[in-house]
Amino acid sequence: MLDFVVIFTKGGVVLWHSNASSSSFASCINSLIRGVILEDRNTEAKYFEEDNLAVQFKLDNELDLVYAAIFQKVIKLTYLDGFLSDMQVAFKDKFGGIPAAERLAGDYDFDREYRRVLSAAEEASAKQVKAPKAMRSYNESQKSKKTVASMIQDDKKPSEKRVNIQESAQPPSKQQSSPPPASMDDIIRENRRKLREKLTPTKKTSPGDPKPSKSSASEKAGKKPRVWDLGGNSKDAVMLDRSKDAPEDVQYQNINSELVGTMQGVIRDLDVESEDEVENDGEGSTSEEEEQQQQMQSKKSKRGGLLSYFKGIVGAKTMSLADLQPALEKMRDHLISKNVATEIAAKLCDSVATSLDGKQMGTFDSIASQVKEALTQSLVRILSPKRRIDIIRDALESKRNGRPYTIIFCGVNGVGKSTNLAKICFWLIENDFNVLIAACDTFRAGAVEQLRTHTRHLNALHPAAKHDGRTMVQLYEKGYGKDAAGIAMEAIKFAHDTRVDVVLVDTAGRMQDNEPLMRSLSKLIKVNNPDLVLFVGEALVGNEAVDQLVKFNQSLADYSSNENPHIIDGIVLTKFDTIDDKVGAAISMTYITGQPIVFVGTGQTYADLKAINVNAVVNSLMK
């Protein structure tokens, strides 16, 4: 079932692997190390896929080891979590005492323990798989034991109940031992007796009380008309006299006495303390007040910041997920307040929890400081470029090869594509490159005129007389309503013929959900094959940044007919001067694509274009 099992360090040094051909699985393990382990990305899933293979792994932060199992992606193995945990325990029991300095040079014989743990995991998984429950036959059901007599009800005998199925299924010996049914006369006589007891009021009299007369017993109970005093009837005063107990009152008292007599347990009396009792119990009340004050102080201490959670928790101990959870929740809310997308903030905190779970703290370290340090390192890794983007060097290389260096700008509406294109154009002119701007936004009114104005201003700042008669900025435009891919192709050909160094292609703004416009952008990139595709996004967005980048990348991949489609290579982050310290959009965009932020727009002049300062962004996020 398992193709390959390996134990290696987080740096990629293999300590042990199963008896299999490791060369066929080396690329999969290397991709896991580069894309997941070293980057701390998506480590909470502990699952990685490449081609038709899947890798499930477990991190050991105490020894800095990784336990990985490779299997076919179509196979679902339910015992892998328990197997990797048991293998970790077995490996630590056997080799955990080896010092870290000698760990890489050691010889690890783990074959016997591996086979034992694997067989135990497979046996436990086989026991959990239950066979399907067989359907019982009709003869085994209760319905087959019913008789015709049990289904017949005689209307002449309403008091008799139907025969129970279980009673009918009992042997004859048990049925004969049951008492014979009562006759109809006995049943009628019993029902009359019960009705008589229910209608007759029960009156309990003491031995000294006189017996009631027969005449009063024979009087019918019922409502009698009231006779007023003006009518001269003296019986009204007698009827209104409540000094003596009426039969109903006696009955009510008897019922109350019966109810009170049947209650069990003790009902606590209401405690009413006098002033003397309060003085005598002064010591007890003082202790209660101290407990209440301690509770109030503990509640106030919980309302503090991130560090107040763990001020008293210091010392050498192993961190667990339960210990890390309060600090991580506080940090997640802090990241969201800094404009980091909610999904990205949760993934970052999960990644930190995975990296710190099982790790030991120092003597004077706290959990909050450990979480902050791990998150800072993770943010620095995310913002650091994973690949080199050196536009000056690449443009010089293209110039030596006799072809123009092409950059395409894309993004949603209103983020500042044309303005930041002009800023990058000014930066290229400052580095002695002549530039051709291709006006491929043939949809928005005024787009071509905006680029024409930028061209005029840039040529005024860098006239041809200062550059040996070379025109530093040119505009290639064909008006509105034309095919953008065709205009870009003609502009690149014109730049090749006139020996222009760099071509900057401006495209129309489009929403990520607009399929026709996304197909048009994918066609423009596929036909012209640019050297660099830059996504222009504004720093003001939060959760929207995730949706924009994911759908732009997905559309460029889906709507391209190439086997290896050209997707986004880098990010231009605009309006960075308007967000103060809420720089979370930089983290969200970089985390989604894994591509670096090439430029940051910080103002309204052509010179307001800077490279991102990773440490400054991380410090703004963590303060």
In this prediction, residue 10 has a pLDDT band, given cuts at 50, 70 and 90, of confident
- Distance from C-alpha of 376 to C-alpha of 369, rounded to nearest angstrom: 10
> Which of 18-22, 245-249, 338-342 is least confident?
245-249
Query: Torsions phi, psi of 586, nearest 5?
Result: -65, -40
User: Which own/partner contact pairs does 29-35 have at CB distance under 8 Å and 24+ positions apart?
Assistant: 29/55, 29/68, 29/70, 32/57, 32/68, 33/8
In this prediction, residue 12 has a pLDDT band, given cuts at 50, 70 and 90, of confident
**Does residue 327 or residue 288 have the better pLDDT?**
327
Give the DSSP letter of residue 36.
I
Collapsing DSSP to helix, strand or coil, 572 comes out as: strand
pLDDT score at 255: 41
Contact 57, 66 (CB under 8 A): yes
Query: Torsions phi, psi of 73, nearest 5?
Result: -65, -30
Residues facing residue 599 across a β-bridge = 572
pLDDT in tens, 348-399: 998 888 888 888 877 777 888 888 998 998 898 888 877 778 999 999 999 9
Angle, alpha carbons 348-351-356 (nearest 5°): 125
pLDDT in tens, 518-573: 999 999 999 999 999 999 999 888 778 888 888 999 999 999 888 888 999 999 99
Contact 366, 307 (CB under 8 A): yes
Question: Percent of the chain beyond pLDDT 90?
Answer: 28
pLDDT in tens, 421-440: 999 999 999 999 999 999 99
Edge-to-edge order in the sheet of strand 473-476: 473-476, 435-439, 502-506, 405-410, 532-538, 570-574, 597-601, 609-610
* Neighbour tally for 304: CB within 10 Å: 11
Residues 6 or more apart whose Cβ sits within 8 Å of residue 556: 518, 521, 522, 525, 533, 565, 566, 567, 568
What beta strand segments (E) does 521-606 contain? 532-538, 570-574, 597-601
Task: Let me know if 271 is exposed, middle or buried by CB neighbors in 10 A (0-12, 13-18, 19+).
Answer: exposed
- First-to-last alpha carbon distance for the chain, in angstroms, is 49
Residue type at 417 in one-letter notation: K
* Beta strand pairing call for 53-60 and 473-476: unpaired
Helix (H) or strand (E) holding 422: helix 417-430
How far is C-alpha 267 from the chain's CA centre?
50
Collapsing DSSP to helix, strand or coil, 99 comes out as: coil
pLDDT of 233 higher than 70: no
Closest to 574 (Cα-Cα) out of 428, 409, 453: 409
Closest to 328 (Cα-Cα) out of 303, 311, 345: 345
Contact 333, 306 (CB under 8 A): no
Give the DSSP letter of residue 465.
G
Residue type at 75 in one-letter notation: I
In this prediction, residue 453 has a pLDDT band, given cuts at 50, 70 and 90, of very high
Contact 68, 14 (CB under 8 A): no
Closest to 590 (Cα-Cα) out of 350, 377, 353, 380: 380
Give the DSSP letter of residue 242.
-
Residue type at 424 in one-letter notation: I
- pLDDT averaged over the chain? 77
Angle, alpha carbons 127-128-130 (nearest 5°): 90
Q: Does the reported pTM lie above 0.85?
A: no
Closest to 55 (Cα-Cα) out of 37, 63, 128: 37
> Which of 42-46, 199-203, 529-533 is least confident?
42-46
Residue reference for tokens 């070293």: 38
pLDDT score at 258: 43
In this prediction, residue 176 has a pLDDT band, given cuts at 50, 70 and 90, of very low
Closest to 30 (Cα-Cα) out of 66, 1, 61: 66
The structure tokens listed for 538 are 């504004």
**Sign of the C-alpha dihedral computed for residues 267, 272, 278 and 284 taken in this order:** positive
Contact 349, 341 (CB under 8 A): no
Residue reference for tokens 């109350």: 256
- Distance from C-alpha of 575 to C-alpha of 591, rounded to nearest angstrom: 20
- Distance from C-alpha of 77 to C-alpha of 1, rounded to nearest angstrom: 8
In this prediction, residue 217 has a pLDDT band, given cuts at 50, 70 and 90, of very low
In this prediction, residue 458 has a pLDDT band, given cuts at 50, 70 and 90, of very high
